[in-house]
Every structure is written in C-alpha cells, then in structure tokens.
Amino acid sequence: MNYKHLIDLNDFSQSEWASIIQLALKIADNPGEYYGSCHGKIMATLFYEPSTRTQMSFQTAMLKLGGRIIGFDNPQNSSVAKGESLKDTIVVVSGYADIIAMRHPMEGSAKAASLYSNCPVINAGDGGHLHPTQTLTDLVTLSREKGRLSHLTVGLCGDLKNGRTVHSLIKALSQYEGNTFVLISTKELTIPPYVKEMLVQSHIPFTEVLSLEDAIPELDVLYMTRIQRERFSSEEEYQQQKDTYVLDPEKLSKAKSDLKILHPLPRVDEIDYRVDDDTRAIYFKQTLYGVYARMALIMSMLGSFDPAPPLKGTPLEQKCSNPRCITSSEAYLPPSYKEHEGALFCEYCEQRQG
C-alpha cells in the first residue's frame, strides 16, 4: 500500500494545504467539537533528536483527538542503541501505529522512512533540511494573526543555512502571490543553494542583508531563529556566529506597529526577554496554533493513500556527496537522483551533486 506521507510541503497541493489551514482555524475556534475524531487510532512519535514543542504538540494533538501515543524521545532507550536500522524500526513501528511523526538528525531520513512504512509518515524535522509541520504552524499563525499569507515582506533572521524551519517556510510562502523575502544573516549562514535556486527560478524577489536594524522598518513579518549549535562542524565556528543577532526593544522601536514576530523556538538569546510583552511578539501564541495545525494534519492524513511511486528520480548507483544525507548512514537505501537543468539532485536530501 502506498500511503500519502508528509516529507516536504509539495507532497500536498496548494488546495490541500488551504483546506488543512482552514480546518486548523476551525479547530482553534472550537476545539471541543473535534475531540474523539481519532478514537481508536495510534500515533507513534519517533524522536531521534531533542524536541519540546514538536513532539509534545503532536502528542497533545493526538490525545485531544481521542487517539493514543506510542514512541520514544531518546533513541538510546530503543533498539536503535543496539544498532537497529531505520528501515527495521519503521517496518515494525508502522505495523503497530496508524501514523508516524518522526524527527531524525540526518537529511532525507523521513523520505527514507517513508519507503518502508506501512502507515503515513510525517517529517517532524530531518537534520538541517526541512520541517513542514512547523511551517504549517507558521501558516496557520499568520493566517489568523496577520490575516493573510500573500503580499507580505517577510524577514528571516539568524541561521538561515541550518534552520530547517526557514527552508520550509520560504518554500511555502513562495507559493503565495506578492511575497518578498529579506534574508538577514552573516555570509556564513545564508540559505542553502537549493532554496536560493528555487527563489531565482520562481522569480520571487529577495534580498540578502547583514543588518537586522536596517531591515526591520520595512518588514510585515519577522521570523527569528537561533544559531543551530548542533549543526556546526566545530565549537569555534559556532562561537564566531552566536550573538550576532539580538532583537531588543531598541531595534523593535524602528518596526511597523503591525509587525508580527514569529520564532519556531527554542530561543537561546536572539530575542531579548523584554520583547515578550510587546503585542507584536506572537511566538508563544504560535506554539498553541501548532497543536491545532497538527490536529488538522493528523485528521487529514490518517488513512490517506497516494498513487505516486515513493521514489520518482533516476536510480543511479553513485553515492550522494552530502555527508549529512541519510544514505551515508543507512547503506541499503537505493540511491535516487532528480535531474534539473543538467544537474543532479539527491532525492533524499536535495543536495546538488558534483
């Protein structure tokens, strides 16, 4: 059986996303009406990487829907510690559960899991690659709190290279008319080439700037992110980047009165605590929308089937050149590449080859 998985946002059409967002907003208005909608269903949350909000909001969502939860939040407490492969874990768990939400440090890991799963798989973050359910949360938040998803000047600030929430959000907001991106980061932490290529090819206007202070007056939305310490190859490199951007009341005084400040959280020190009381700061509200977003998603995905083949690229024998790709740690995975304008891209992690 070929289930419909959520690995990347483009696994769902624009109209499917629109209905999921509408459903999430209806649930937000009247959560009690949906209690019990998933009675008798089981969700497995497999978290190979730390998480507070994503894992607990998935669990809260399923419990509110009347379903139950199995899973692990520390793979060292599972057979992964004995050397079990991702494939074997997924084959087994997908026999127990009706839906799986998984987070893993390797890029393309959710795609890999989907090849062997007997139930729908949701990507709850695959290394520095993608995080589509955080983006769904962001879209639900903006729909309600900003009133629109189009014609926005969106500033994204911080670790744009390793921040998977940033990659998924840019992909998603590029689908809506009239959005402009202001990418605020150091030169070392700019967005990855595959995201930039998508912006260029889709003729989406964007600028790359160094100063948050200079960029802030023009923004409708400011998406702050932490510097992703765990994705740096050395502590020294992290130390050079940390503390570069701090949103404080002084900088905020230059912003529009209807600016909305989002952050996927956790915050390290990139938002001064004094900003929390500003009505423009909606990052804690955003965490509540995350529960409604995931309730809507689970309801929509349970029992969904996909006619498309799980791998759509060309099965070449060559190994992906990205050391952080799941194919480098799980050797049985069939390599697969998509061709675009003469270049090859790994189908798991999307890294350009060669």
* Binding residues for ligand NCD (CB under 6 A): 53-54, 125, 131, 134, 164-165, 225-226, 228, 264-265
CB of 33 to ligand NCD, least distance (A): 27
| Of residues 101 and 265, the one with the C-beta less far from ligand NCD | 265
- Please say whether the beta carbons of 92 and 113 come within 8 A: no
Q: What letter represents residue 88's amino acid?
A: D
Helix (H) or strand (E) holding 345: strand 343-346
Nearer to ligand NCD, 4 or 226 (CB): 226
- Phi, psi for 346 (deg, rounded to 5): -60, 135
Taking the complex as a whole, the smallest distance from the CB of residue 135 to ligand NCD amounts, in Å, to 10
Closest of 306, 337, 330, 333 to residue 121, by C-alpha: 306
Query: C-beta of 161: minimal distance to ligand NCD in Å?
Result: 12
Query: Which is nearer to ligand NCD, 264 or 310 (by Cβ)?
Result: 264
Q: Which is nearer to ligand NCD, 89 or 165 (CB)?
A: 165
Residue 289 Cα distances to 125, 139, 157, 163, angstroms: 18, 9, 22, 20
Smallest separation, CB 1 to ligand NCD (Å): 29
Residue 237, SS3 per DSSP: helix
**Contact partners, residue 77, CB within 8 Å, separation at least 6:** none
Contact present, 51 and 73 (Cβ < 8 Å): yes
Residue nearest to ligand NCD (CB): 264
**Closest distance between ligand NCD and the C-beta of residue 95, in Å?**
27
223 versus 337: smaller Cβ distance to ligand NCD:
223
The torsion angles phi and psi of 352, rounded to 5 degrees, stand at -70, 135
Give the nearest distance from C-beta 34 to ligand NCD in angstroms: 23
Q: Please work out, in degrees rounded to the nearest 5, the angle formed at the alpha carbon of residue 353 by the alpha carbons of 352 and 354.
A: 125
Q: Which strands make up the sheet holding 68-72, listed edge to edge?
A: 68-72, 42-47, 99-104, 121-126
We find the least distance from the C-beta atom of residue 265 to ligand NCD, in angstroms, to be: 5
Give me the residues paired with residue 123 across strands: 102
277 Cβ partners below 8 Å, 6+ apart?
none
CA 215, 217, 219, 223 dihedral sign is: positive
224 strand-pairing partners? 157
Residue number with CB closer to ligand NCD (142 or 344): 142
Cβ proximity to ligand NCD: between 54 and 123 the closer is 54
Q: What are phi and psi of 71, to 5 degrees?
A: 140, -170
Q: Which is nearer to ligand NCD, 125 or 310 (CB)?
A: 125
Residue 54 CB, shortest distance to ligand NCD, in Å, is 4
Smallest separation (angstroms) from ligand NCD to the CB of 183: 17
Helix (H) or strand (E) holding 315: none
Task: Closer to ligand NCD by CB, 26 or 229: give it.
Answer: 229
